[in-house]
Amino acid sequence: MCGIAGVFGPDQPDPDRIARTLALMGRRGPDGRGVAHLGEGERRLTLLHTRLAILDLDPRANQPFRRDGLVLVFNGEIYNHVELRLQLESLGQSFATASDTEVILAAYTQWGEACVERFEGMWAFALFEEASGRLLLSRDRFGEKPLFWWRRGRSLYFASETKLLWSLAGTRAAPDLEQVTRYLVNGYKALNKRPRSFHSGVVEIPPAHQAMLERPGDPLPRCYWRLAYVPRPMTMDEAREEARKRVIDAIGLRLRADVPLAFCLSGGIDSGVLVSIAAKAHGAEPHVFSIVDSDPRYDEMVNIDRVVADLGCHAHQVHTARDGFIDRLRAQVAYHDKPVITINYYMHAFLTEAIREAGYKVALSGTGADELFAGYYDHYGMWLAGMSGEPGFDALVADWRQSYGAFVRNPVLQDPLAFAKDPDQRGHIYLNQDLFESFLAVPFHEDFAEERYCDDLLRNHMLNEVRHETILVTLREEDHNSMMASVENRAPYLDRSLAEFLYTVPSRHLIHQGFPKWLLRSAGEGYLTDAVRLDKQKRGFNASIESLVDRHDPETRDYLLADSPIFELVRRDAMESFLSGDMTDNSFSKFLFSFISARLFLEHAAS
């Protein structure tokens, strides 16, 4: 895990800008740094790299890395580098390091741009051909590693974080106020519907895309992989057996490291299956880290204690507190150079700090399991819609009432037949949209829309989550939080083989006898204690805004209502009334956090 940055074109940064940028990249890579000046004329290139050493800790693996007339800066991990190395050696390649970095260059020499189709892992890299002067920018399938670009003058700037672009260019892009407004009113699921960021003119290379640049200019990324729903006939037992095998293999592959590993553990199925399979199937000795919240709605300690007791593993608890909330969030927003998207990503930063303080450089989490195995509340409702008309449908609804239906708080989703009645309704996503729009100083409205990828209601919704709505947001937040603490975050469920298989499973097999994520629960059978594996309540990292900020405290209210750029977007009188109201509605709590986070971002951008 590392930081990368570069400038391609005739306008190159001076030594002071390069030094400042490397310093800003220090948290992404405290174990080494390097610079390469390449090319000539309009194809001049400066590449910067800072290293967080995980594989082959020797300085010989530092970057920028040169081999066979190629120069590479790389952020991420190629987990199947061992198998690729053996294959490449059989084809006549030899290696000077044990790093996955060198494997990328050898693979490119052997197979060209198509080499990424053979990689299993997470990456963002820039690869330069010295002979031709061409530059390849590439990003992994799910977008685990970020890669931003910004065209400025005659040169193209690219980096792992937006603030690195500003440092290299000597100026910063203006905040995209429409994107900030979109975030406030419609939430995080609206942010990636279009190729934009929180800064005007700054764009990310999309996941599963890469762009070959013959000369400086706007990249034209080409898609090299696309997840699609292609169901094939199979029994439930066949689906369970194959899913179990691929989950175990995906987790094992992501245990490869030359440093110790830590695990994020909530009270839910995703992290419980992950840590239990790592321990019992692969012999790992996990050290787990968990968030503890005083709000009973988010208290997960019963299940966390069950897993810890079953595995006998080392456990570390991180407690939430109000003290210093604004200051902590301000520092986090400044590092992200954008709003922290939801309160659980604010909490995630506590977790990564604790992991680093305990001496770990790698943490594994259950990210992506909901989108692959069908774990959200609306997934269950859409599944029921797909099963309506089937024999025994009333029993399926009864199962829902005894599982997710007993815990769902969203008023739209409290009706198990919501999507059977209206498959196109998405009122649960933009909940209280009209109210939040009324808070605005300038009118703004966007209807929720999904791309059409297949005819299956549930799977089409899940594919939108994978490609646009949830996974991208989660990965971006987790990357920035983890790098702020110099920790590499790994997501074993975001495995190509596992994902491709799960999207061939008929949707009817995803939920069984009231158990969402049935295939993941089945994969954990014999590994995760049944007291957690067969718990039907959805759990995961979260916290209450009331546990972090006292909106009734005069000093806090004075700050929240004081002069700020945010009041160019939001009416101050509306916020004053809102702060005095009832926050038991979850969407209100989310809006308050979004308001504070957006406020801090705009103040940071103006500073």
Which residues are annotated as part of the binding site for ATP?
291, 365-366
Kindly give, in sequence order, each residue whose CB lies less than 8 Å from that of residue 10, ignoring residues fewer than 6 positions away: 41, 42, 44, 154, 155, 216
Name the binding residues for L-glutamine: 100
Q: Three-state SS for 170?
A: coil
Closest among 128, 139, 147 to 216, alpha carbons compared: 128
Could you tell me where the DSSP H helices lie in 92-228? 100-111, 162-169, 177-186
- Residue 420 and residue 382 in contact, taking contact as beta carbons nearer than 8 Å: no
Which DSSP symbol is given to 486? Answer: T
d(CA 102, CA 315): 36
d(CA 437, CA 441): 9
Would you list the DSSP string of 235-273? -HHHHHHHHHHHHHHHHHHTT--SS-EEEE--SSHHHHH
**Strand runs (DSSP E) across 10-161, as ranges?**
32-38, 45-51, 65-67, 70-78, 121-129, 134-139, 148-152, 155-159
- Residue 90 and residue 42 in contact, taking contact as beta carbons nearer than 8 Å: no
The one-letter code for the residue type at 41 is G
Closest among 242, 220, 178 to 506, alpha carbons compared: 242
d(CA 522, CA 505): 14
HSE-CB at 152 with a 13 A cutoff on CA atoms is 23
- Which residues form the catalytic set? 2
Beta bridge partners of 364: 263, 490
Using CB atoms within 10 Å of the CB of residue 86, give its burial: 0 to 12 exposed, 13 to 18 middle, 19+ buried. exposed
d(CA 155, CA 411): 50
Angle at 69 between CA 66 and CA 74, to 5 degrees: 40
